[in-house]
Amino acid sequence: MRVPSTILSKCWTGLGISLLLFLSVSALAEDETDPNVIFQKMFARYQALETYSGEGVITSESTSERGTRRTERTFSIKLKKPNQYLITFKQTSTSETGVAYKTKQGAVWSDGTQRLLYLGPDNYFRAPTDERAISMAVMFGGSDQIIAALFFPSLASLNVPLRMNALVLEKAEAINGEDCYVISGLIEHGARRTVWISKSSFSFIQTGFTATSSPGTVTTYRSDDLLDMLSKQRGFPVGEASRQKMREILQQEDAAIDKGQSTSVTTQTYTPIASPDFTDADLSYTPPAGAVIRDSLIIRMSSAESKPGLPPSLPSTP
């Protein structure tokens, strides 16, 4: 019996569509199991956004022979392209004995024409660049840089996931009800960082890392920018010789603070991507009355921070 050509045509068409669907699903599944492709989709997701709104929390626990020291940093992030943002933050630190010895809060923001950082009445700072403003907020206020660096191409130097290599897709895991890919990779100094990326939206949901230090080692990442600023505060001329001197001073301070081995575990968790409309008022911040803008940052340690055995509350973010 001869099959009509119209029926054969429909069969071949149906088979072709099924084959295309199969190949598409197979390709999609392959892409979603490749950590490099997952990262590229995440980067593309944030680059395509015009606005971003979210909240997050960073928890750090450092355990040594003296006990466990805990720091919690909460923050709210509002971003708008090309160059407006408002990040507010609060940091609370607890000593090894469980006593809360430091609480501070502030904000970093830009209206597109100037970048401002507020850490208190004595530390209201006009920053020359967005990179400087965001990084100073992280170092001295407990703020966050990862989401802003994913969102703004100009902040690529602060983009922690972009600096990860040798990526490994470890497993799948749910974080606060969000199904995520769990990917680990190497960063500076050979440390390994793990990130959780949403399967449905490719939102950056969580990251974490563990750092172990031995007596006399420097565990806090010190950029040249920070070393130059500390040099100026101590009256040293800016340059590589002063940076090396500051590294030696900070290493001595670290050794005095922690004479035994310690382990620090840090976890950063974020809400999934939201992209609302913002007005200029939504991205503005008004410091308390009497705050005076300075052109350089003045860091004043509280009396609690200067007590023996209590370290400065600089976050150690590789």
Where are the chain's structural domains?
A: 31-162+271-313, 216-257
DSSP string, 20-54: HHHHHHHHHHHHTT-HHHHHHHHHHHHHH-SEEEE
Percent of the chain with pLDDT over 70: 69
Q: pTM (2 decimals)?
A: 0.71
Which residue bears the tokens 């974080």?
175
For residue 317, is it left (φ>0), alpha (ψ between -120 and 50) or beta?
beta
Percent of the chain with pLDDT over 90: 42
Question: Residue 194: is its pLDDT beyond 80?
Answer: yes
Alpha helices in the chain (DSSP H): 5-31, 35-48, 130-141, 146-151, 224-233, 240-257
Summary mean pLDDT of the chain:
78
Distance of CA 292 to the CA centre of its chain: 28
Per residue in 103-155, pLDDT (tens digit) is 788 999 999 999 999 988 778 989 999 998 998 888 877 788 999 999 999 99
Judge whether 111 and 280 are in contact, CB under 8 Å: yes
Judge whether 63 and 258 are in contact, CB under 8 Å: no
Helix, strand, coil percent values for the chain (each to nearest 5): 30, 35, 35
Among 46-60, 204-218, 296-310, the least confident range:
296-310
CA-nearest of 234, 207, 238, 229 to 314 is 229
Q: Which CATH number fits domain 31-162+271-313: 3.90.1720, 3.40.50, 1.10.3470, 2.50.20?
A: 2.50.20
Residue 74's DSSP bridge partners are 57, 90
**Looking at per-residue confidence, does 25 or 294 come out higher?**
294
Give 316's pLDDT tier (boundaries 50, 70, 90).
very low
**pLDDT (mean) for 54-65:** 88
